[in-house]
């Protein structure tokens, strides 16, 4: 799905300050490509991802997924649209604590959609084959992050949106995650991530620099 942002204004107003993050932002995100969002800390990467997910509202402007005006949907329709179409990893993604890694994957993929072997293979890609039957409380921070990434792609959503999926991972695991996302884009999925990782540029088809996009 082609994603379009039209004339997006976004500011955060608190008692002490008003922070204008986007003013008249127009952006088209290609279908079936791997798009990297980069920019300084505070440039609006997480805000943009949260606007695309409907987790934070724009002050004005529209977000379209193909012909669907996402910003025009009510909250429950947005949730249904996300469930149907989007694999999500946020900056603080966690697993469901009383389910094993495997059970978390089954829940996301849908009962009976992936065999045990397919789930093992998916976890193997992110280096977690040995953790399949572990509970989240038995995993490290980086392992939880990688399990959340596997879970986000398990249901084969068309669009994959991840905020800093490679943060706090070592080089080997950064490579694993970026390769997985690269493969997803090659299969025709739309992949959008934010990252500080310089290496990510080599994997992405398109880099959007939010420091420049706003000028
Ligand atoms: N809930 C909020 N209330 C007020 N200001 C906010 C809120 N969320 C973000 N901001 C401000 O909006 C700006 C953009 O924040 P955002 O989190 O999108 O940046 P980012 O590019 O993701 O940064 P980082 O690389 O540090 O994650 C920042 O200046 C931030 O202080
Ligand atoms: Mg951020």
Give the DSSP H/E element, type plus range, for residue 39. Answer: none
Q: Which pLDDT value is given to residue 91?
A: 85
Bigger pLDDT: 213 vs 134: 134
**C-alpha of 137 from chain center:** 23
- Please tell me if the CB atom of residue 189 comes closer than 6 angstroms to any atom of ligand 1: no
- Please tell me if the CB atom of residue 98 comes closer than 6 angstroms to any atom of ligand 1: no
Q: How far is the CA of 115 from the centre of ligand 2 (A)?
A: 35
Please, what CATH class does the domain formed by 3-213 belong to?
Answer: alpha beta
Rounded average pLDDT over 194-214: 89
- 215 pLDDT higher than 70: no
- Phi, psi torsion values for 11, nearest 5 degrees: -135, 150
Structure pTM? 0.94
CB 196 within 8 A of CB 38: yes
Report residue 214's pLDDT band, with 50, 70 and 90 as the boundaries. Answer: low
Domain residue extents for the chain: 3-213
Q: Which pLDDT value is given to residue 93?
A: 84
Strands (DSSP E) contained in 44-156 are 60-65, 68-69, 86-89
Q: Which pLDDT value is given to residue 79?
A: 96
Query: Which atom of ligand 1 approaches the CA of 196 most closely?
Result: 25
Of the chain, the percentage scoring pLDDT greater than 90 comes to 92
């Amino acid at each position: 799905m082609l994603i379009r942002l039209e004339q997006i204004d976004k500011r955060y107003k608190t008692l002490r300050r008003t922070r204008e993050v986007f003013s008249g932002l127009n952006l088209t995100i290609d279908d079936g490509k791997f798009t990297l969002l980069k920019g300084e800390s505070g440039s609006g990467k997480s805000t943009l991802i949260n606007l695309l997910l409907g987790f934070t509202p724009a002050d004005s402007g529209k977000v379209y997924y193909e012909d669907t005006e996402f910003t025009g949907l009510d909250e429950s329709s947005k949730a249904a649209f996300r469930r149907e179409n989007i694999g999500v990893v946020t900056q603080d993604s966690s697993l469901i604590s009383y389910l094993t890694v495997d059970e978390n994957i089954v829940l996301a993929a849908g009962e009976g959609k992936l065999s045990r072997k397919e789930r093992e293979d998916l976890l193997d890609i992110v280096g977690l084959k040995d953790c399949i039957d572990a509970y989240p409380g038995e995993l490290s921070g980086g392992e939880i992050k990688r399990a959340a990434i596997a879970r986000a792609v398990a249901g084969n959503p068309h669009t994959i949106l991840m905020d800093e999926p490679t943060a706090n991972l070592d080089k080997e695991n950064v490579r694993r995650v970026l390769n997985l996302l690269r493969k997803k884009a090659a299969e025709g999925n739309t992949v959008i991530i934010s990252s500080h990782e310089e290496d990510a540029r080599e994997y992405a088809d398109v880099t959007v620099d939010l420091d420049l996009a706003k000028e």
